[in-house]
Amino acid sequence: MEKLCLGIDLGGTGVKIAIVDKKGNIVEHSSFPTACPADPKKIAETIAANCRKLKHFKKIRSIGIGVAGDIDQEKGIVRFSPNLGWKNVPLRDMLSKKLRKHINIDNDANVAALGAFWLDSKGKAKNLLCVTLGTGVGGGIVINGEIYRGSTGSAGEIGHVTIEPNGPRCNCGNHGCIERYVGAPYLSNYGREAVRKGNGKIIAKLAKGNIDNITPALLAEAARKGDKEAKEIWNKAGERLGILFADLINLCNPEMIVLSGGVSCSADLMMKSMNKTIFSRAYQTPARACRIIVSHYTHKLGVVGAALLAK
């Protein structure tokens, strides 16, 4: 019998469920939206019901779930999830009672890193970092094919590495975290500032007179249409990611850095300044040895990584 695993990706906007084979190929999947703040009991019931509906459900060997938030992997508890509005929810046991299977739980950035290891590196990059560029900047570390969690399960907070110690305050309390510069809302703000100053004509035109319409996707479109200000925003973002990656390369010497998340779609606009910065700052041998790629599986990383947690 084929070995199948079930993965659940529980985020602030929706739940993805998938049954995958041992190589991470999705065999069957479903999804439903999350209404936030979400009642834990209801969410667990809906997840369980949706899992049982899958026609391969009886064939699965293990279940894994990735949750946006601070997770106690050992106790199976969602310690804190601002997106879901949860504190200390024993989600693993709630679900395993309903599904009568052993369940592994981890945070969304960690399972995404595991997904990137199996999907993007095909299980080959022994040491890999996954950086999710979205509203926030998430991070996960894979060492020897396994998630590296550190001593309290919170390792991999790549988004809160300091890029500029006297920089603006980040939501986490630190100053000048990379997230504070390349997180989607901050990128959008740079675009708004440019328009307010009367620059960024193409940005303004695409925003149709309302700067609230400015998003990273709009800034990417503007840059591709030749807008100087938009190009500069992406250049600067690439430079800052380059500072971060030079540090990560000197420190972790990874074989691969995988970029995922919405903002990673614009990685081509950042690559030049990013690589220039990395090679001017990092040691050359590890810099040359590190492949930086954009994930081909951004929307699947979480659910596939979750499914393969038990592997």
Interface residue list for a second copy (CB under 8 A): 70, 126-127, 139, 141, 143, 148-158, 160-165, 172-175, 243, 246-248, 250-255, 280-283, 285-286, 289-290
- Cα(311)–Cα(303) distance, integer angstroms: 14
- Residue among 156 and 302 whose Cβ is closer to a second copy: 156
- Which residue type sits at 64? G
Q: Cβ of residue 224: shortest distance to a second copy, in angstroms? A: 28
- Residue among 179 and 227 whose Cβ is closer to a second copy: 179
Q: What pairs with residue 16 in β-bridges?
A: 9, 31
Q: Cβ of residue 150: shortest distance to a second copy, in angstroms? A: 2
Q: What pairs with residue 64 in β-bridges?
A: 7, 104
- Residue among 99 and 270 whose Cβ is closer to a second copy: 270
- Residue among 3 and 288 whose Cβ is closer to a second copy: 288
- On whether the CB atoms of residues 242 and 281 are closer than 8 A, the answer is yes
Q: Cβ of residue 33: shortest distance to a second copy, in angstroms? A: 30
Q: List Cα–Cα distances, 219 to 181, 207, 243, 265, 268, in angstroms.
A: 15, 10, 22, 12, 13
Distance from the first to the final alpha carbon of the chain: 17
Q: Is 296 helix (H, G, I), strand (E, B) or coil?
A: coil
Q: Cβ of residue 65: shortest distance to a second copy, in angstroms? A: 21
- On whether the CB atoms of residues 263 and 133 are closer than 8 A, the answer is yes
- Residue among 101 and 291 whose Cβ is closer to a second copy: 291
- Which residue type sits at 219? L
Q: Cβ of residue 41: shortest distance to a second copy, in angstroms? A: 26
Q: Cβ of residue 264: shortest distance to a second copy, in angstroms? A: 20
- On whether the CB atoms of residues 198 and 185 are closer than 8 A, the answer is no
- Residue among 8 and 142 whose Cβ is closer to a second copy: 142
| H helices present in the chain, as ranges | 40-53, 91-99, 108-119, 179-182, 184-196, 201-206, 216-224, 228-252, 271-281, 284-289, 301-307
Q: Cβ of residue 157: shortest distance to a second copy, in angstroms? A: 4
- Residue among 60 and 141 whose Cβ is closer to a second copy: 141
Tokens found for residue 89:
């929810």
Q: What pairs with residue 67 in β-bridges?
A: 10, 107
- Residue among 182 and 282 whose Cβ is closer to a second copy: 282
Q: Cβ of residue 256: shortest distance to a second copy, in angstroms? A: 9
- Cα(2)–Cα(276) distance, integer angstroms: 46
In which residue are the tokens 């901050």 written? Answer: 186
| H helices present in 36-183, as ranges | 40-53, 91-99, 108-119, 179-182
